[in-house]
Structure 1
Amino acid sequence: MKEDWTAISDIGKVFNGKELTIESYKKTEDSYISVIRLIMEYLNVPYLTVTDVIRSFPLEMFKNLISDYHELYSKEMIEYYSSEKNNDTLEKEYIDVFCRLLLREDIGSKIFYNRKMKIFIGYDYLMSIHTSKSLDSMISLIEELGLYVEDFSK
C-alpha cells in the first residue's frame, strides 16, 4: 500500500515524492466521471435520480471554502450546489457537475437509476457502482483510465 491523496484539499501536498497539482487532480476526477458515463451508456441509462441531498455548508461558506480552487468550480457548478433537490432527475448533461460535487465532498446524496444502477461516492475519493448487469467486459476500459477496480461480485 502506498500513501495517496484522498480529497480536493490534498492539492499542493506531496505524495510519494510528487506534488498533487490541480491538473493531476482534475485528470483523476475526469476518469471517475468517464467511468460513470461509460457505465450509463453500457446499461442504456438515460438519467439518474438524486435523493437525500445533503450540502456540506451553507452557500456563502461554501463559496469561501472553494476560493483556493476557483479554477475547478464553474459558475454553473456553484449554482447547482444550491439548487439540486431531492428526487430531482439528473439529466446526462449535469452528471459531470453533480458527481464532481460528490467527489469533492461538497454534497452527499444517493444517486441511482431504478433496477439498473446505483452509484455510491463517499469520503476518501471512494466510488462504488452497483449494477443489474455484470461489468466484467468493462473492467479493462476502467483500468485504462487509471482507476483501480475491486470486484465484489465474486
Structure 2
Amino acid sequence: MYKYRVTKYNPSFRDDEGLYLKEDWTAISDIGKTFDGEKLTTESYKKTEDSYIKAIHLIMDYLRVPYLTIMDVRQSSSFEMFQEIIKKYQKLYSEEMLKYYLNVKNNDKLTKENVNVYCRLLLREDIGSKVFYPRRMKVYIGYDYLMSIHTSKPLDPIIPLIEEIGLYVEDFSK
C-alpha cells in the first residue's frame, strides 16, 4: 500500500519529528477564532472542508473506486447531545447530515454523493469509523483535521490536482 497524508497543513512548518509548529485551526469549534492574524469564518472553514471532500473524490475517480464501505462506526454523543452541540453551526448541518448521524451503520456503502455528507461528519469529529474500498483505498480521518489515504497504486499523477485545491500531500510510502 502507498501511504499519504493529505491535509491543509504545509509540511514546511513541521520540525524534524513531524510536529506542526505553526498555530492553526483544527476543528469546527475554532470558527470565530483568530489564527495567524486571520479570523476563521464559516465560509473559510467550509472551503477547506470542501477541499478535503474534493481530494477524496479525485482519489476515488483515479482508483476507479465506485463506493467506500464504513466499519466500526462510533458516534461522538447521543443524538440529543449532538443536536445541542451543533446549534452554534446550524447552517453547516443539512437535514441529510442529521439523518446520516442517526441512521449510519456498519457495512453501509458510501457513493460519491454520500461521501460528501459522511466525511464532513468525520472531519467535524461527530462520527468516527473505518472508511475503505477493499484492496484499493483506505481513508483515515482523525482529530485536528488530519487525513491519511492508503492506496493500491501511487497517487503521483493526481498530486498536482490535489495541491491545486489547496491541500498538501506528503508521501509516507517509503
TM bucket normalised to smaller: over 0.9
Give 1:21 deviation, angstroms. Answer: 0.2
2:77 counterpart (32, 35, 57): 57
Structure 2 Cα separation of the partners of residues 118 and 32 of structure 1: 14
Structure 1 Cα separation of the partners of residues 168 and 106 of structure 2: 31
What amino acid is aligned across from residue 125 of structure 2 in structure 1? E
In structure 1, the residue matched to 2:99 is 79
What amino acid is aligned across from residue 147 of structure 2 in structure 1? M
What amino acid is aligned across from residue 38 of structure 1 in structure 2? L
Q: Aligned-pair RMSD on alpha carbons?
A: 0.7
Deviates more, 1:65-74 or 1:143-152: 143-152
Q: Which runs of 5+ in 2 are unaligned?
A: 1-20
Q: How far does the alpha carbon of each residue in 1:28-57 deviate from its partner, in whole angstroms, 9 at most, with x for none?
A: 000000000000000100001000000001
Task: Count residues with an aligned counterpart.
Answer: 154
More relative contact order in 1 or in 2 (CA 8 Å, sep 6+)?
2
1:30 counterpart (44, 47, 50): 50
In structure 1, the residue matched to 2:169 is 149
Structure 1 Cα separation of the partners of residues 32 and 107 of structure 2: 36
2:123 counterpart (99, 103, 123): 103
Q: How far does the alpha carbon of each residue in 1:68-124 deviate from its partner, in whole angstroms, 9 at most, with x for none?
A: 000100011011101000111112220100000000000000000000000000000
What amino acid is aligned across from residue 133 of structure 1 in structure 2? K
What amino acid is aligned across from residue 146 of structure 1 in structure 2? G
In structure 1, the residue matched to 2:86 is 66
Structure 1 Cα separation of the partners of residues 159 and 170 of structure 2: 9
When normalised by structure 2's length, the TM-score is: 0.87
Q: Which runs of 5+ in 1 are unaligned?
A: none
Structure 2 Cα separation of the partners of residues 139 and 32 of structure 1: 13
Deviates more, 1:61-70 or 1:139-148: 139-148
Give 1:2 deviation, angstroms. Answer: 1.5
Structure 2 Cα separation of the partners of residues 143 and 74 of structure 1: 28
The SS at the match of 1:98 is helix
What amino acid is aligned across from residue 82 of structure 2 in structure 1? F
What amino acid is aligned across from residue 36 of structure 1 in structure 2? I
Is 1:125 matched with 2:145?
Answer: yes
When normalised by structure 1's length, the TM-score is: 0.98
1:135 counterpart (155, 164, 170): 155
Structure 2 Cα separation of the partners of residues 127 and 73 of structure 1: 21
Give 1:137 deviation, angstroms. Answer: 1.2
The SS at the match of 1:46 is coil
The percentage of aligned residue pairs carrying the same residue is: 69
**Aligned structure 1 segments of 4 or more residues deviating by more than 2 angstroms:** none
